[in-house]
Amino acid sequence: MNTATKTTWTIDADHSEIGFKVKHMMISTVKGAFEDFNATAETENDDFKDANFNFTAKIDSINTKNNDRDTHLKSEDFFNATAYPEMKFQSKSFDGDTIVGDLTIKDITKEVKLNTDFNGVAVDPYGQTKAGFEITGKINRKDFGLTWNAVTEAGSIVVSDTINLVVDMQFVKQ
C-alpha cells in the first residue's frame, strides 16, 4: 500500500509561457502563444519523477501578434475554437528528461513525447516554493486535424506541418 503524501503544484501563469513556432513559406518562422492556460502537477518527491502533469489551454487565447492570422487559426480551417474550445495534455510518465502523455487538439488525442529540462526547486522572496521546467517537442499538426494549407506561386507550402513547442512552466507548491 502506497502511503506517500502527494504534493500539488499549480501553474504560476505570470512566469510561464505556452509557445510554439512554425515555418511560414519555408523561409521564416512565426511564433505564437496561448495566453489563457492552466496546469497542475502532483508529485510524491522533489525530483518530480513520475509526477502527474495536467494542462489545458483556451484556443481563443492564441496570439501570434497578427489579428487576421489569429482569427484564421481559431476558424474551422485550423482549431475550430467554437466547437473545440480547449487543447488538453495529460501526462502518462515523467522520467526527469521526457514527459510522455496524451495531447488532445480538437477531438483527436495522440501520445506525444516532450523533451524536458527540470530546472529545480527554489523559494522565492515571498516564501513560496517554486519549480521550473523548460519543455520542447515537435508535433505534426495534420495528426490533429489541422490540415489547411495553401501553395505559393513558386510551389512552396505556406504553413509547415511541423509545429515546434516551446513551453516554459513555473509551478507553485500548494
Residue 31 belongs to some domain of the structure? yes
| Residue 146 pLDDT greater than 70, yes or no | yes
Model confidence at 1: pLDDT above 70: no
The CA distance from 126 to 149, in Å, is 48
Q: pLDDT digits over 30-60, tens only?
A: 999 999 999 999 999 888 999 999 999 999 9
The residue behind cell 507553485 is 172
pTM of the model: 0.91
CATH number at residue 169: 2.40.128.110
When mean pLDDT is compared across 2-6, 94-98, 122-126, 144-148, the lowest value belongs to: 2-6
Q: Is 80 left (phi over 0), alpha (psi -120 to 50) or beta?
A: left
Q: Which domain holds residue 73?
A: 7-173
- Indicate whether 1 belongs to any domain: no
Domains identified in the chain, total number: 1
Task: Look at residue 81 and tell me if it is in a domain.
Answer: yes
Q: Is residue 165 part of a domain?
A: yes
Outline where DSSP puts E strands in 95-155. 98-105, 108-123, 129-140
Instruction: Kindly state whether residue 2 falls inside one of the protein's structural domains.
Output: no
pLDDT for 84-112, tens place per residue? Answer: 999 999 999 999 999 999 999 999 999 99
Q: What share of the chain has pLDDT > 90, as a percent?
A: 83
